[in-house]
Each structure stands twice: as C-alpha cells, then as structure tokens.
Amino acid sequence: MPPGQDLLRVALAQINPTVGDIDGNARKIADRIAEARDRSAALVVFPELALSGYPPEDLLLKTSFLERAAAALEELAAQTRGIVALVGFPQRAEDVYNAAAVLADGEVAGVYRKMYLPNYGVFDEQRYFQSGAEAGIFELNGIPIGITVCEDIWEPGPPAMTEALAGAQMIVNLSASPYRIGYGHGRERMLVQRAVDNLAAVVFVNTVGGQDELVFDGHSLAVDQDGRVLARCPQFEESLTLCTIDPREVGSARLRDTRHRANVRRQRRAAPVAEPPAVHLASLEVEGGGKTVGGATAELLGPEAEVYTALRTGLRDYVDKNGFEHVLLALSGGIDSALVAMIAVDALGPERVTCVSMPSPYSSAGTQADARAIAENLGVAFREIPIAEAMESYAEMLSDAFAGREPDIAEENIQARIRGNVVMALSNKFGWLVLATGNKSELSVGYATLYGDMAGGFAVIKDVFKGWVYRLVRWRNEQEGRELVPVSVLERPPSAELRHEQRDDDSLPPYEILDAILAGYVEEDLDAVELVRRGLPADDVERAIGMVDRAEYKRRQAPPGIKISTKAFGRDRRLPITNRFEARAEAQQRRLRALR
C-alpha cells in the first residue's frame, strides 16, 4: 500500500435493468455514472450483465444482440470521464463471456471474465458462456481492486483469494443473485466471511427487480476487512448508495496478520512465474473521495414483508416491462385471489386493477359478499358476471356425449373453464393482463383446472404455499390496521366451490401437513421414506407424492410466476412428463411398511 493513500468513495449502483433493452439499460447506467460522479464517487459498480439484463437466455445466441451490446459498451465508455465504472456485459471475443468492463477516461480500460458459471437450479450459464481463466485486478488511485462476478465470490478460494493475496485491498462483486425466502441473510453472512478471510473490503452490487419468474432483491453491500457492514442498499428497490472505504485499514490489518502473510508466500510458491499472479487490467487515477468511512445502511425486511415485497416487485415489473396498463383477476371470495388482489393493488395502484366475480349456483352467499368487500376495501373496479346460463348451455351441448354418465370432475372443470374463457375474453377485448391466483400447494398436487383457474399471463403466488398465503394476508391486514381482507375469508375452510358443500380437505390432506410434505418432496427431492422419517403420516405422504407426479403435465402449461422458494416449478425443477419412476415403487413400499 502506498503511503498517504486517500479514502475511496464507492457508489453501489443497484439498478433494475430490462432484459434485451440494451439502449434503455445503457441510458440508465450513464445516468447513474453521472450521478455518482456528481456525488464525488471515484468508483461506481453496476450489477452482473447490467447492460443486457439478466438472464438474457437464448438472446445470447443472436449475433445481432452481442453486437449491439458491444456497441453500447463502447458508447458508455466514451461518456465515462472523471470516474471509473464497473459494468457487467456479455462479451463476444473468440467465444462469449459473462464479463465486467472497467470503464475509465473514455475507454474500456480492462475486462474481467467470470470464472465460475452456475449451471444448476434456474441457471444455465454453461449453455452460453466460456469461463474466464484468470483473476483480475486494476489499480484505482493506487489502490489494487479485485473483480469477481456473482458465483465467483461464492467460492472461498480463487479468484477472490488469488486477488487478495496478490494485493487487492478491495474485492468487488457484480451480481444477479435471485431472491428466495431468507436467502439474503446467508448471502450477507457469506460476504462478511469473505471479507474477513481475505482481509479485504468487499463491495457486492446485486441487480434488483423482476424478470419473468425471477425477482432480484438487491441488498447490495459494502463490508470492511473486519466484516463490519459499512453500507447496505435496500431490498427490492433501485438505489445509488455511496460508501467511503479506508484502504489504510486493510493495509494495517495485513501488517498485523501473520496468516495473511503466510498465505501470500504460499501463493507465490504455487505460481512462481508471476508476481502478482492476477492479471493487471489497468492503473487509473481519478478525483473523488469521501470524508468519513461508511455509508447508508438500510434495515432488512422481516420475513412476511420480504416475501410480500418480492411478490409485489415481481408482479410490478412483469406488468410494466411487458407494457400492460391494467390487470384483471377473478376474485372468488377465497383467500388466494384475495392475496393476489392485495398484491396487485400494492404493486400497481387500485386504478390499474379490475376484479371480476363469476358466481355459479355452487358459490355461497358468504364468499360472494367477501369478494365484494375485498374489492371495496381495495378500491378496485369490480364486476359480477354470473355463469349459470353458460353452464346450462354446456350441459346441453354435451348432453348426448355425456348421456348415462354421472356428474363428476368434468362438470366441475367446465365451470372453471367458463371462468377462464370470460377473463380471457376481457383480456383480449381490453388488452389487460390476466393474473392467475393458484398457490403452490394446489399447483403441486394438481388441484387446479388447466385453462380454468390456471388461465392467465402471470401466476403471482404460484410459488407460495397455502400456509404462507394465510401468513401474508394476516400480515398485510395488520400493516393496514384494518381488515382489508375480512376475517371470514381467513376462517372459512378452503373450498373450490365447484360442487355443493365441497371442501379442499375432502380431496387433500390438511394444508399444514400437505405443505410440509411438498416442501420435502418438491424442494428437497426427498422420497417417501425420508418424509415419513420426518414424522409425516405415511398415507398422506404417499397420496400427495402420487398427486405431484401425475400433475406434471398441468404445470408444464401453467403461466410463469414469481420464484420465492429454494425450488420453484418452471425452469428451476425440470422433470419429464413421461416418467414411470415412482417414489412409491415396490422397494419403497417395503421400506414404508417397515416404518408404520
């Protein structure tokens, strides 16, 4: 560390890009660069693939897309003066890289290429990218700074370790790390530990906002070499958060720390040819600096607020980024559609939401009254369209074909699909987006009608178990200080109301048990034996697992919705429809019997 080193003022540019909108994202990046310079930052850091949005998926197979990104990066570089910007972009070279550009003095001063390419869960990065081969350091005002991209920093070793041992006093990480419940705490813990292990400041900048099934929670961080959180951006909101870091402190800590010195020696022995072994990208000088160490530190949201905000953000961005003015949903008077209506109003405002109630002869007076009350409490447009006559016309159309058959699930599904047709007709007529209202518990076991209540462009709570649905409605009511959703909705036994006196627990285990089974089977890939060992009833386990397996074909045609769990249906869980593997098969049955 050179003597007399100044404080370094860093701007964490937690932005919400739109996938594919390279021009719009570039404008947003340019604005933040200007703002950061105005606020005396020497360095401004953007998220992973900020220029293209994340994930661009198969847009990365289009030459024209990669060319446009390259041109936009050059234009951005030309505008970057008096500050250094780190911008994530897809780099087309002899292959394609998930890269971070160092922009300074009107040029691209260096490029770091992501080394670890995740290819699990929702990630398919090995489909698109070549992995980078080398760690990367640039010097800013004499301070060596190491670059990493997302997955790179989840590894305790290289490239962050390599960079730190080669002298980097700060490790920067550009991320697009998708939200799931409670994940932010573990991520913050990991980043704090990386800072401590590397005796370096860590600056982590995550993207924010919704992209199809994913929502990014932001929660960008600056941490010092002792693991103290110096700055934290809010979750789920765009933010340009400034933080001042004292690189002298890193230097002092390293003078005191014998472990670090020994590790440096080990690294030099391992890679004796290059000292430092990391690639030096550039040596840059700019004005800018802070006076006191630290920055603004947002509070983390509680669990219900966090999940609710994730859903609100994911819905808002799906609607706005796809250019919809208005949304529509079927409000049954049940708890699921009540929650979706609440989220829609909080995301878009009541004037952009229409609710429609479509009572049949099986709809109770109670649920109808509740539907009206919810719409009124939320201040949304509300329309009632009874479907009894349409039901009769189907009964007549099908009377020959169904002659001699008892009413069964076919008639129940006809009702649900009449409602699906009505909401889609309103959608087509007025250009509104239809929100589907099914929850994860139902979707797991197939307790939903394809093209009926599953119809819609976006399924807001498809990754929310029933237990969480109640929790979120109760929490939101409490926040409001009044019953936005009447307590009768919370207390009535759940029912699809597709026949007289129907109740969900006629067909399904109680939701407390069902949710626990599903969490184990769907999210953790456990089998029946493992679930029973957790104390779940064997009969319920077997029945629920069978239902999950048989409903795969329905889920394949479900609308996209927001991932909030470890494993959401959709790109996260990829099971064949044609699949004769049964977690209930012979050998399993024997083991299960032994457990009873």
* Shorter beta-carbon distance to its own copies: residue 9 or 321: 321
Contacts of its own copies in 27-56 (CB under 8 A): 55-56
Contacts of its own copies in 257-316 (CB under 8 A): none
Taking the complex as a whole, the smallest distance from the CB of residue 589 to its own copies amounts, in Å, to 12
Taking the complex as a whole, the smallest distance from the CB of residue 38 to its own copies amounts, in Å, to 28
User: Among this protein's residues, is 114 annotated catalytic?
Assistant: yes
Binding characters for its own copies, 391-420, by CB under 8 A (x = yes): -xxx-xxx-xxx--x--xxxx-xx--xx-x
- Please choose, out of 13-21, 176-184, 294-302, 471-479, the segment that lies near its own copies by the rule CB under 8 A: 13-21
Taking the complex as a whole, the smallest distance from the CB of residue 13 to its own copies amounts, in Å, to 20
Taking the complex as a whole, the smallest distance from the CB of residue 178 to its own copies amounts, in Å, to 14
- Please choose, out of 168-176, 267-275, 494-502, 586-594, the segment that lies near its own copies by the rule CB under 8 A: 586-594
Catalytic residue among 48, 163, 412, 442: 48
Question: How far, in Å, CA of 44 to CA of 266, rounded?
Answer: 33
Catalytic residue among 57, 67, 107, 114: 114
Among 1, 6, 21, 470, binds its own copies (CB under 8 A): 21
How many Cβ atoms are within 10 Å of 365's Cβ, its own excluded?
9
Catalytic residue among 150, 233, 243, 355: 150
Taking the complex as a whole, the smallest distance from the CB of residue 34 to its own copies amounts, in Å, to 23
* Shorter beta-carbon distance to its own copies: residue 453 or 497: 453
* Shorter beta-carbon distance to its own copies: residue 62 or 189: 62
Taking the complex as a whole, the smallest distance from the CB of residue 213 to its own copies amounts, in Å, to 9
Taking the complex as a whole, the smallest distance from the CB of residue 575 to its own copies amounts, in Å, to 5
* Shorter beta-carbon distance to its own copies: residue 57 or 249: 57
Contacts of its own copies in 189-208 (CB under 8 A): none
* Shorter beta-carbon distance to its own copies: residue 196 or 385: 385
CA distances from 479 to 64, 182, 302, 465, 484 (A): 48, 20, 12, 21, 10
* Shorter beta-carbon distance to its own copies: residue 57 or 155: 57
CA distances from 517 to 291, 489, 495, 544, 547 (A): 55, 25, 20, 7, 12
User: Among this protein's residues, is 563 annotated catalytic?
Assistant: no
* Shorter beta-carbon distance to its own copies: residue 260 or 563: 563
Edge-to-edge strands, sheet with 353-357: 381-384, 353-357, 327-330, 433-436, 458-459
* Shorter beta-carbon distance to its own copies: residue 39 or 383: 383
Contact 443, 555 (CB under 8 A): yes
Contacts of its own copies in 324-353 (CB under 8 A): none
Confirm or reject binding of residue 158 to its own copies (CB under 8 A). no
Question: How far, in Å, CA of 75 to CA of 30, rounded?
Answer: 10
CA distances from 39 to 126, 158, 243, 596 (A): 39, 33, 11, 67
Question: How far, in Å, CA of 381 to CA of 321, rounded?
Answer: 23
Among 58, 226, 275, 376, binds its own copies (CB under 8 A): 58
Dig out the tokens for 86 from the structure.
């780190």
Confirm or reject binding of residue 577 to its own copies (CB under 8 A). yes
- Residues near 368 by Cβ (< 8 Å), separated by ≥ 6? 333, 357, 359
Contacts of its own copies in 368-387 (CB under 8 A): 383, 385-387
Contact 500, 362 (CB under 8 A): yes
Contacts of its own copies in 417-436 (CB under 8 A): 417-418, 420-422, 424-426, 428-429
Which residues partner with 206 through β-bridges? 175
Among 1, 5, 6, 19, binds its own copies (CB under 8 A): 19
Helix (H, G, I), strand (E, B) or coil at 403: coil
Question: How far, in Å, CA of 254 to CA of 317, rounded?
Answer: 44
CA distances from 443 to 25, 138, 395 (A): 35, 49, 27
Among 145, 192, 455, 473, binds its own copies (CB under 8 A): 455
How many Cβ atoms are within 10 Å of 457's Cβ, its own excluded?
19
* Shorter beta-carbon distance to its own copies: residue 369 or 577: 577
* Shorter beta-carbon distance to its own copies: residue 402 or 470: 402
Identify the residue whose tokens are 């560390």.
1
CA distances from 164 to 479, 484, 518 (A): 45, 53, 43
Q: What is the 3-state secondary structure (H, E, C) of 83-113?
A: CEEEEEEEEECCCEEEEEEEEECCEEEEEEE
Which residues partner with 204 through β-bridges? 173, 221
Taking the complex as a whole, the smallest distance from the CB of residue 264 to its own copies amounts, in Å, to 32
Among 7, 29, 49, 65, binds its own copies (CB under 8 A): 65
Contacts of its own copies in 540-559 (CB under 8 A): 553, 556-559
User: Among this protein's residues, is 440 annotated catalytic?
Assistant: no
* Shorter beta-carbon distance to its own copies: residue 126 or 507: 126
Residue 14 phi, psi (nearest 5): -85, 95
CA distances from 492 to 77, 355, 489 (A): 60, 21, 6
Number of residues that bind its own copies (CB under 8 A): 91
The bridge status of strand 170-175 relative to strand 201-206 is parallel
Taking the complex as a whole, the smallest distance from the CB of residue 183 to its own copies amounts, in Å, to 19
Q: What string of DSSP letters covers 249-297?
A: HHHHHHHH-HHHHHHHHHHHHHSTTSSS-SEEEEEE------SSSEE-B
Burial of 384 (0-12, 13-18, 19+ CB in 10 A): middle
Taking the complex as a whole, the smallest distance from the CB of residue 126 to its own copies amounts, in Å, to 5
Contacts of its own copies in 97-136 (CB under 8 A): 119-120, 124, 126-127
Contact 15, 85 (CB under 8 A): no
Contacts of its own copies in 500-539 (CB under 8 A): 525, 527, 529
Taking the complex as a whole, the smallest distance from the CB of residue 503 to its own copies amounts, in Å, to 21
Contact 14, 241 (CB under 8 A): yes
Confirm or reject binding of residue 16 to its own copies (CB under 8 A). no
Point out the residues that are catalytic. Answer: 48, 114, 150
